[in-house]
Amino acid sequence: MSEYERKQNVESLCKKLSGRQNCFKKVNTIQEATTHASYIVAYNIAKNNKALSDGEFVKQCLLQVCDVLCPDKKNNFQTVSLSRKTVTSRIGAIDKNLTSQLELKIGQFKFCSIAMDESTDINDTAQLVLFIRGVDENFEITEELACMRSLKGTTKGYDIFREFQEGRLTLKVPITNICNITTDGAPNMTGKKSGFLGFFNQNYPGNNVVFLHCVIHQDALCKSALNMKPVLDAVVKLVNTIRSRGLTHRQFRDFLQSVQSEHSDVLYYTKVRWLSVFEHVWQLKDDIVSFFHEKQCSVECEMLEDTEWLSDFAFFTDLLCHMNNLNVKMQGKNQFIDDIWAHLKAFKLKLNLFAGQLAKNDLSHFSRLNSIPSVNEEKLKNYEDGLKKLHFEFERRFQDFSAIQTELDIFTMPFNVNCEAVKSYLQLELIELQSNNHLKQSFLNMPKLEFYKSLSKVSFPNLISHAQKNSAMFASSYICEQVFSTMNLRKNYFRSRLTDENLASFLRISTSHFEPQYKELLKMKSQFHSSR
């Protein structure tokens, strides 16, 4: 064979080798792309609280769309694995990826706080939810689900403390970084001896953690301060009379349609939406009376024709509307602890105002009660006393906030605080700050965190640290309650077999602000397969 022929042979073999290598690369690229696609679908299933089996439905839709748009690519779509088992596995991997991102963030926190609450799922398993909120040196705030811990036995203070410790250690949260723990105020949380608070203080004596208990449970507050039970029971009975009998319910809806009512039905009572039920019944009261009179069952609605009972009903509905407005404000996003405390203080002042006005027969802020003709003075006195009791309940339940009033004032309005009234380590820096007109102008023109971020770390280290601490605090545990709503949606009567581990993955993905790192997930999967 001549030299030229040998050269031609070598070139031919090289081309064949290169072709085979490109073929392998193409196969690997397609496999990686289809795996990436299955991760994306699994993530969206979890993010939107869809069923695990929905992956198979999504694939069926994709294949049919592919037949229309790009039939030549159908084999690629066919290899995207979206079985229930695969989707479950992908969601678990994404959960771990999001957790690792959170761990990295926790390592950067200057301060952090924990919001925790406990609720029971459809299988009567107590689920303890912990959220973490932290701030780094650049005042970047991170708020994420730390963990969900399943309590298989009792839910006493020690059980909660044990699960708190395990969750904290898993995420490597330094106890010295925790500046605040916020709970819903239940006895197993707040008990000073046998509650979570007691066990925490026993294990960490001398800690500087601020404990807050802040959720406005309307039913608990109103039942403890006001005699609402007779009115509540009557409304529930009335609604059940209409809703629980199929024929009566259908006739009632037809009646509302015939009289062209604004509403098409009356809501069932639940603890979550009892304000809505009260409002609906109030707005439909005349229609309800007409309906039962037409059916010759006036005894079912006799209380709606009793002025004394209607006065109570109107008062409680008006008051619940005011409390609901407070709840909406407190559940707003991106709020600091001083914002929540401002809402609470404002509502306490409103209660005082309401009580004073009722004493003068002024019903300006109770429109429904004002529509009742000639409410007697004894009733008004009872309502006034009820508002005073409710004010006392607010004072008692939120006294933890009053205890840190000065700390909050330093954070909220540092230029107005009396330097002699603050802790010594902040006094000199506060004097320097208050004496600087340029900084005073900056404070007025900049968002709060931006102002503290702009301060010199050399001149104001303690004030900066104080601001970081306050901005890291959870003012309420509403965020936990919102997760429980997701939990009940996710694990319901039709999906009761969902494991605690899978439920925790769903909750993390559906609430997280982090995005999955798909490159890392694909890399880990590739390493896993190569090691087998």
State yes or no: pLDDT of 266 exceeds 50: no
State yes or no: pLDDT of 444 exceeds 50: yes
Distance (Å, whole) CA 206 – CA 133: 22
In this predicted structure, what is the pLDDT of residue 22?
A: 45
Packing angle of the helix pair 218-225, 274-294 (nearest 10 deg): 70
Give the lowest-confidence range in 242-246, 279-283, 291-295, 491-495: 242-246
Per-residue pLDDT of 398-436, as tens digits, reads 888 888 999 999 999 999 999 999 999 999 999 999 999
Average pLDDT over residues 71-83: 88
Runs of H (alpha helix) within 435-517: 437-445, 448-454, 461-471, 478-490, 500-511
In this predicted structure, what is the pLDDT of residue 245?
A: 54
Distance (Å, whole) CA 512 – CA 146: 10
Q: What angle do CA 128, 132, 135 make, to 5 degrees?
A: 175
In this predicted structure, what is the pLDDT of residue 251?
A: 45
Structure tokens at 210: 């601020």
User: How many CA atoms, within 13 angstroms, populate the side-chain half-sphere of residue 180?
Assistant: 32
Per-residue pLDDT of 201-216, as tens digits, reads 999 998 999 998 866 6
Structure tokens at 177: 């970084």
What share of the chain in percent tops pLDDT 70? 82
DSSP run (H or E) holding 405: helix 405-412
Per-residue pLDDT of 336-351, as tens digits, reads 999 989 998 999 999 9
The answer to whether the CB of 114 falls within 8 A of the CB of 181 is: yes
Give the lowest-confidence range in 1-5, 104-108, 192-196, 484-488: 1-5
pTM confidence score: 0.82
CB atoms inside a 10 Å sphere around CB 58: 18
Give the lowest-confidence range in 270-274, 487-491, 518-522: 270-274
Query: pLDDT category, 44, cuts 50, 70, 90?
Result: very high
The answer to whether the CB of 376 falls within 8 A of the CB of 351 is: no
Give the lowest-confidence range in 165-169, 357-361, 472-476: 472-476
Average pLDDT of the chain to the nearest whole number: 83
In this predicted structure, what is the pLDDT of residue 283?
A: 78
Please tell me the total number of residues recorded for the chain in this structure.
532
CB atoms inside a 10 Å sphere around CB 122: 15
- Residue in the block written with tokens 């193409």: 26
In this predicted structure, what is the pLDDT of residue 26?
A: 45
For 48-79, give the DSSP string: TT--TTHHHHHHHHHHHHHHHH-GGGHHHHHT
> What would you report as the CA-atom Rg of the chain, rounded to the nearest whole angstrom?
31
What are the angstrom distances between the C-alpha of 345 and each of 349, 412, 427? 6, 15, 27
123 three-state secondary structure: coil
For 255-281, give the DSSP string: HHHHTT-S-S--PPP-STTHHHHHHHH
What are the angstrom distances between the C-alpha of 139 and each of 299, 408, 451, 471? 63, 17, 10, 8
